[in-house]
C-alpha cells in the first residue's frame, strides 16, 4: 500500500510566553494542511495527535477548534518522538486498508528553561538513564543536557575529537535558519560565540549547543494512492520507508547507546531496506538536533559516515549546501525550536516542501529523496524516508 503526504503545514514557533493557546496553534496547522492538500474536513477518517505537556483529550480539544466530524482521535505521548509517532500511526492506518485519509498533527506549549517533569511525585521513565549514568560515575547535571552531554563527551574521547565540531554544527544550522522565516533564531553565529556561551554541562556543552524550549504546532494529511487519484492530488510526496525502534538491553551499556546509538542504526537500516535505497541516495535530511552532539552522533548512526568519521564529514562540508547532504535546511531544532509534540510533523513539513521544490532560498537543488530522524528518550527512534512524486 503506497501512502502519500498530501498536505503539510506548521505555525511559526515561538518562545514560551509569546505563543497562543495550543488549540489555536494546532487548529491553524490542521486547516493549513487540509488547504495544502486541497481537501475538506469531511475527507479525514482518523486523526493522531502528538503532545506531551497536556492532559488526556488535548488532541480532541485541539482538533475541535478546526473541525468536529466525529472521526476517531488518538492521543500520542512518545516523548520527543511524539509527532513522528503520530505520523507512523497515520501511515499504518492507511496501509492496513482501514482508512484512506488520515491526519497527523502535533503541538506543544512549553515552559522556559530546562525540561521539567510533568509528574514530579512519581518515578519518570528517564530515571532508567539517570540510574545507569550514576552507576557509571557520570558527572551529575540537568537530565537532558546530562544525557546528551555525556554521550558527546564519550564521542570526543573515543575518537580524539575537539568540542569545536559541536560548535561548527551549531554555526551551520544557524546559517541555514537565516533563510527560514518560521525559525526562532535566524541571526548567524560564529564558532567562537558558541564556545564562549555559558557552559551547561561537563565543561564543554554550551548554551548555543542546546536547542531552546518553544511552542508551536504542525500537521500532515496522509492519503492512499487510490484516494489521491480519486481526488486529483498531484503534489503528494510518497513515504517509501518508515521504522520505529525502541531500546534493547545494550542501550544501557554506555552514554552513546543510552541516547539511541543502536536503536537509531536499527531503524535506519530497516528504512533503507524497505525503500531499497542507501544513505548515499539521500539528498536532504531533517535530523533531531536537540543538542549538537546528537547531530554529530547521528551522522554515524544513520550511515552518513563510518564510525568516528563525523569530524571529517563536517570539515569537508558534507552536511550543508554543496556537500553530499544538506542536514537541517530548516535550521533544525537548534534554530527553529523544539515544541516537542510538533517537532516530528515540522520535520515532515520541511522534507515535503523540499521534495516539491517549494522551499525558496533554502531549497536543496534536485532533491528527490529525503530522510527524517526523530528520537525521544526513552520512547524510541522513528526514521522516515520520502520520495518526490
Sheet holding 73-76, edge to edge: 73-76, 46-50, 101-108, 216-224, 3-10, 237-245, 380-387, 369-376, 284-287, 326-327
pTM: 0.96
Q: What is the distance between the alpha carbons of residues 147 and 136, in angstroms, rounded to a whole number?
A: 12
Q: What is the distance between the alpha carbons of residues 162 and 311, in angstroms, rounded to a whole number?
A: 9
Peptide bond into 378 cis (omega under 30): yes
pLDDT at position 126, please? 87
Active site residues: 80, 338
Dihedral, CA of residue 174, residue 176, residue 179 and residue 182, to nearest 10: -70
pLDDT at position 9, please? 98
pLDDT at position 117, please? 72
Nine-digit cell string for 65: 477548534
What is the DSSP code (8-state) at residue 317?
A: T
pLDDT at position 11, please? 96
Helix (H, G, I), strand (E, B) or coil at 71: coil
Residues of the chain with pLDDT under 70: 114
pLDDT 10s digits, 156-175: 999 999 999 999 999 999 99
H-state helical runs in the chain:
22-37, 58-66, 82-95, 127-135, 143-159, 164-177, 191-196, 225-231, 255-258, 261-275, 292-301, 310-315, 332-336, 340-356
Q: How many CB atoms lie within 10 A of CB 47?
A: 27
Amino acid at each position: 500500500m503506497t501512502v502519500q503526504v498530501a498536505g503539510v503545514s506548521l505555525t511559526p514557533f515561538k518562545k514560551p510566553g509569546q505563543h497562543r493557546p495550543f488549540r489555536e496553534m494546532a487548529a491553524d496547522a490542521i486547516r493549513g494542511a487540509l488547504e495544502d492538500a486541497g481537501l475538506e474536513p469531511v475527507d479525514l477518517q482518523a486523526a493522531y495527535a502528538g503532545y506531551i505537556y497536556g492532559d488526556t483529550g488535548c488532541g480532541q480539544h485541539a482538533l475541535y477548534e478546526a473541525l468536529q466530524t466525529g472521526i476517531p482521535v488518538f492521543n500520542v505521548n512518545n516523548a520527543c518522538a511524539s509527532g513522528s509517532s503520530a505520523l507512523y500511526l497515520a501511515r499504518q492506518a492507511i496501509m492496513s486498508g482501514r482508512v484512506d485519509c488520515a491526519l497527523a498533527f502535533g503541538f506543544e506549549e512549553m515552559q522556559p528553561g530546562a525540561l521539567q517533569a510533568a509528574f514530579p511525585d512519581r518515578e519518570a521513565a528517564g530515571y532508567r538513564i539517570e540510574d545507569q549514568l550514576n552507576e557509571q560515575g557520570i558527572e551529575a547535571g540537568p537530565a537532558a543536557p546530562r544525557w546528551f552531554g555525556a554521550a558527546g563527551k564519550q564521542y570526543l574521547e573515543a575518537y580524539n575529537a575537539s568540542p569545536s565540531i559541536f560548535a561548527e554544527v551549531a554555526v551551520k544550522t544557524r546559517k541555514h535558519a537565516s533563510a527560514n522565516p518560521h525559525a526562532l533564531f535566524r541571526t548567524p553565529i560564529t564558532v567562537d560565540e558558541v564556545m564562549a556561551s555559558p557552559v551547561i554541562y561537563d565543561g564543554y556543552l554550551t548554551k548555543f549547543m542546546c536547542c531552546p524550549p518553544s511552542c508551536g504546532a504542525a500537521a500532515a494529511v496522509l492519503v492512499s494512492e487510490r484516494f489521491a487519484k480519486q481526488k486529483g492530488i498531484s503534489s503528494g510526496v510518497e513515504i517509501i520507508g518508515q521504522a520505529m525502534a525502541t531500546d534493547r538491553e545494550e542501550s544501557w551499556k554506555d552514554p552513546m547507546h543510552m541516547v539511541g546509538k543502536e536503536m537509531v542504526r536499527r531503524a535506519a537500516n530497516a528504512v533503507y531496506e524497505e525503500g531499497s535505497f542507501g544513505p548515499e541516495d539521500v539528498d536532504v535530511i531533517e535530523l533531531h538536533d536537540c543538542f549538537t552532539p546528537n547531530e554529530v552522533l547521528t551522522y554515524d548512526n544513520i550511515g552518513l559516515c563510518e564510525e568516528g568519521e563525523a569530524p571529517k564529514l563536517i570539515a569537508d562540508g558534507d552536511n550543508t549546501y554543496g556537500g553530499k547532504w544538506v542536514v537541517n535546511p530548516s535550521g533544525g531544532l537548534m534554530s527553529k525550536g523544539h515544541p516537542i509534540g510538533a517537532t516530528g510533523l515540522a520535520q515532515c513539513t520541511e522534507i515535503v516542501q523540499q521534495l516539491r521544490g517549494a522551499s525558496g532560498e533554502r531549497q536543496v537543488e534536485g532533491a528527490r529523496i529525503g530522510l527524517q530522524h526523530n528520537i525521544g528518550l526513552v520512547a524510541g527512534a522513528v526514521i522516515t524516508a520520502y520520495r518526490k512524486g
